[in-house]
Structure 1
Amino acid sequence: MINNSSHVNWRPTADIQSLRQRAVIIANIRQFFALRNVLEVETPCLSNATVSDLHMRAFCTQFNDPMSPQQKTLYLQTSPEYAMKRLLCAGSGAIYQIAKAFRNEEAGKYHNPEFTMLEWYRPDFDHVQLMNELDELVQQIVGCEPSNRMTYQQSFKEHLSLDPLSASLEELQKRGCALGYEHICRDEQDKDTILQLLFSHEIEPNIAKQRPCFIYDFPASQAALARINLQDQRVAERFELYYKGIELANGFHELANVSEQRQRFDADNAQRRAFDLPPVVTDEFFLAALESGLPNCAGVAVGIDRLIMLALNKTKIAQVIAFNYQNA
C-alpha cells in the first residue's frame, strides 16, 4: 500500500504568530466585558429548532436518542441568540458569549461555515446605546477612529439618489436594471431582494473605507428580531456595522412581544414555502421564554474572525483561524 500522507498539507491556515495575537485579542475582549460587569455565559451548540430566516441555512444532524425509538433532528446553532434570550428572560442580566456558530452557506475570503461569534445583550439599552458600546470595543481592538453613522435611507439617497422606504417595486426594478442587474431585477417581485442587491453591490463597497460606519434604521420588512420604530413605523431599530468592505456586526433593539414574534416566524415559513424551501419548526422554548417576559434590551452579534482579520491587517479569514473548512 502506498502512503500518500506526505502529500497532504496538514499545516494550519494561520501562522502561529497570528494565533498568538488572536488569543491576546480574545483575552482583551473578555477584559472589556469584565470591566463592565457583563457576565460570560455558554449555551449549547446543538438545539431542537433553528432560525426561520429565508436566507440562512442551518446544518442539522441526527441524534440517536436512547430515550426514544426514533432518531431526533438537532441543529447546529447559526447564533446563540435564542438561548441567550432565554437566559435574559430567566433574570441573567447583561450577558455575552464567545461561541462557535455554523451556517451552511457560502465559503470564501470572508466566510467559513464554522466561525466564532461574539454576541452580547444589554438590559435597559436601546440600539443607539449599544452602537456606542460596540464602537468603543472596535476602536480598542482594531485601533481605528470612531465610527460614522447614517440611516439606511440616507445611504441609498447619498449613493443611489433613491429612497428605499418609498420607492415602488417598478422603480427598484428600473434602477437595478440600469445598474447592470437586469438578469435579477427584471422579473424580481420582492422589493427587499432588490434592495439587498443594491445595498451589497452599490453601497457597501463605498462606505467605511477610512473608519467604521454604522447603518441603522433598516426597513421594517427587514426587521428580523428587532422592534419597529414607534416614531416611524417604516423602519426597524436595527443596525449593521461595516469597515473596509466587511460587515462586522448586526444588532437590534430586541423585539419582546411574543405575539408579533410568532407572526414573524409564521410569515418567514410562508415565504419559505413560496420559494419551495422546507418550513422550519418554531422554537417553542424561545417563544415560551418571551411570553414570560424579555427585559427591555439591545443585542448584537459580531464576527470575531473578521474583527481579528482587520486588527491584524489580514486579507482573508483563513489567515486568522487555525484551520478553515478545506483542511479541518
Structure 2
Amino acid sequence: MPDWQPGAGLSQLRARAGLLAAIRRFFAERDILEVETPLLCGSGITDPAIEPLIVAAGDSLSAQRYLQTSPEYAMKRLLAAGSGPIYQVARAFRDGEAGARHNPEFSLLEWYRPGFDHHALMAEVAALVCACLGERPWRKLSYRELFRQGLGLDPFEVDAGELERVARGRHDLGNLEGDRDFWLDLLLTHDLEPWLAGQGLCFVYDYPASQAALAQIVDHDGVEVGQRFELYIDGVELANGYHELTDAAEQRARFEADNARRLARGQPARPLDEYLLAALAAGMPACSGVALGVDRLLMLACGEADIRRVLAFSWERS
C-alpha cells in the first residue's frame, strides 16, 4: 500500500500560505507587477551544471519541450517589451536534484528591477527576507573577502595547483580532477559554506568572471569579476542574483561556450533561446534580477532541515 499522506503537516501548509501572502504584499507595496510565463519552453538552459526535464513530442506538441528550470528568459522578454519591474512565483524543474535541500520540482521566486545594480538588489532581497522571517542583521562579503577570511587565500591570484593542494590537504578526494573553477567550487561548498553557517544572513558577491553566468563582467580592483551574488542564511544557499547582461552578442557567445563545455563533458548541446536573444538585441533595460528558493525560505521560517517536511508531496510521493 503506497503512503498517500502528505509529507508536510497542516502547520507547514499554513506557513506556506502565509509566506506567499507576505511575498505578494511585499511586492504590492513596491508597485512591482506579478506576471506568469509558460512552464513548457522550446529551448533548454545551456548551463552544464543544470539539466532540464524534457517533455516528449505528442499530439499537441510538434517537438519536445523543456520544463523550465527558471522563468528568467521569458521574464527578460517582458522587460524588453516595456513591462517595468516584475516578479513571479513559479514552479521550476531540474533533473538530478533530490535530497534534504533539493526536489526536482520546486517553487522559485524571481524578480527584476530596472535601474538597480546588484548592490541595490541585495538590499531589497534582505528587506524581503526580513519581512518574511523577522528583522535580523545582514552583511555583504565579496567572493575575494570570503576566501581570504575563510581560507586565507586570494581566489583571483592563487593558481589551480595551489587550490588543488589546499583542497586535498583538507579532504580525501581520491582521483578527483578538475580545472581552477572546479577547485574553487569544491572549497566553497566543502569549507566556506560551513563557515558561512556562522555568519547569519550574508551575501557573497562579485564572483570570478569565469563564473559570471548571465551577469555583467567588470574590472574591479585589477581583476575581472562577474557582478552576481548569492545569499546564504545560516549556511543555506537561498538566492542567486545578477546585474544582468544585456548584450545579445555576448549572451550568444556565452550560450555557445556553454554548449561547447557540455559536449566536452559528454552532455547533449541545448538549442539556444532565440526569443531571448532577439529581445536582448531589441533592447532590454539595464537591470538586476534574482531567483530565490521559496521552499528553502519556508524551511528557514519553519525551522525545518529537510525540504520534504515543507512540501505537500515531494518527488517520491507524487
Measured against the shorter chain, the TM-score band is: over 0.9
| Shift, 1:182, TM fit | 3.7
Q: Say which of 81, 93, 105 aligns to 1:102.
A: 93
* Aligned position for 1:269: 259
Structure 1: distance between partners of 2:9 and 2:149: 41
Residue 182 of structure 2 corresponds to: 193
- Residues 265 and 210 of structure 1, relative CA distance in 2, 3 Å threshold: closer
Distance 1:184 1:267 in 2: 27
Normalised TM-score (structure 2): 0.96
Please tell me whether the aligned partners of residues 119 and 302 of structure 1 are also in contact (alpha carbons under 8 angstroms): yes
Shift of the 142–296 alpha-carbon distance from structure 1 to 2, 3 Å rule, reads same
Question: Distance in 2 between the 1:208 and 1:135 partners?
Answer: 17
Task: Please tell me whether the aligned partners of residues 109 and 317 of structure 1 are also in contact (alpha carbons under 8 angstroms).
Answer: yes
Mapping of residues 12-27 of structure 1, within 5 Å = 12-27=6-21
Name the CA distance, whole Å, in 1 between partners of 2:191 and 2:54: 34
1:280 to 270, 277, 286: 270
1:67-121 Cα offsets, whole Å, 9 max, x none, are: x8xx411000000000000000000000000000000022111110000000000
In structure 1, the residue corresponding to 2:66 is in which secondary structure? strand
Amino acid of the structure 2 residue aligned with 1:246: V
Question: Residue in 1 aligned with 2:215?
Answer: 226
* Deviation per residue, 1:197-255 (Å, 9 max, x gap): 11001000111435211000011000000001244552110000001221000000000
Q: In the aligned structure 1, how far is the partner of 2:3 from the partner of 2:163? A: 48
Which one-letter code corresponds to 2:41 in the other structure?
S
- 1:139 corresponds to which of 117, 127, 130: 130
Q: What residue number does 2:69 align with?
A: 78
Other-structure match for 1:130: 121
- Of residues 180, 202, 208, the one that matches 2:171 is 180
- Are residue 202 (structure 1) and residue 180 (structure 2) matched? no
Higher-Rg member (1/2): 1
Q: Which amino acid aligns with 2:261?
A: Q
Deviation at 1:123, TM superposition (A): 0.3
Worse overlay, 292-301 or 171-180:
171-180
CA apart distance, 1:169: 1.3
Gap runs ≥5 in structure 2: none
The count of aligned residue pairs is 317
**Alpha-carbon offset, residue 145 of structure 1:** 1.1
Alignment partner of 2:165: what SS? helix
SS of equivalent to 2:241 = strand
2:226 aligned with 1:236, yes or no? yes
Q: 1:51 aligns with which of 37, 45, 68?
A: 45
For residue 64 of structure 2, give the secondary structure of its aligned residue in structure 1.
strand
Amino acid at match of 2:181: D
Stretch deviating more after TM superposition (224-233 or 14-23): 224-233
2:247 aligned with 1:257, yes or no?
Answer: yes
User: Following the alignment from structure 1 to structure 2, what is the Cα–Cα distance between the partners of residues 128 and 108?
Assistant: 32
Pair 1:300 & 2:290 matched? yes
**Aligned partner of 2:49: which letter?**
H
Q: Gaps spanning 5+ residues in structure 1: where?
A: 1-6
The match for 1:4 is: none
Report if the CA contact (8 A) 1:46-1:74 is conserved: yes
Q: Secondary structure at the match of 1:72?
A: coil
User: Partner amino acid for 2:256?
Assistant: D
Are 1:246 and 2:236 matched, yes or no? yes
State how far apart, in whole Å, the 2-side matches of 1:25 and 1:131 are.
20
3-state DSSP class of the match of 1:229?
A: strand
Partner SS state of residue 183, structure 1: coil
Runs of 4+ in 1 over 6 A off after TM superposition: none
